[in-house]
Structure 1
């Protein structure tokens, strides 16, 4: 149940970013966000999508700051840190 809530929150944030005018004008970035949203809707692991999108969001945020992007970046950073933590713990026990 928790995973579904995280996915819904991530999708909501991605949708808000897609609605930003500057994002809509940047086809490459818009397509990247759309692809991530499509993958999540089809059941892909949101933590992996977050890791994949992280650097792109950070770079885009520098040149096109908006509250929606800040919210997405903060959510992604929190989830990425949690995911990296689990990878470290499982790697340590291997």
Structure 2
């Protein structure tokens, strides 16, 4: 049986993954494979991050946010803009 904190952690991973996916889509990358290839990411692992089924390391999150020109503060405190709006900074 899972504890409440484990369930909460899974829910938070899922939310983080959805936010990463929204960022990618807002940047105009509808094809995850193309996005991963162009940004030197392992496609299958990145897919798991977006699905919220794999833990993402802080260093990988920094790497991905750098692709989107976002700081950690921007990522955790701002809504994702639509594809026509500029990202943070």
Q: Tell me the TM-score normalised to structure 2 length.
A: 0.44
Q: Tell me the TM-score normalised to structure 1 length.
A: 0.43
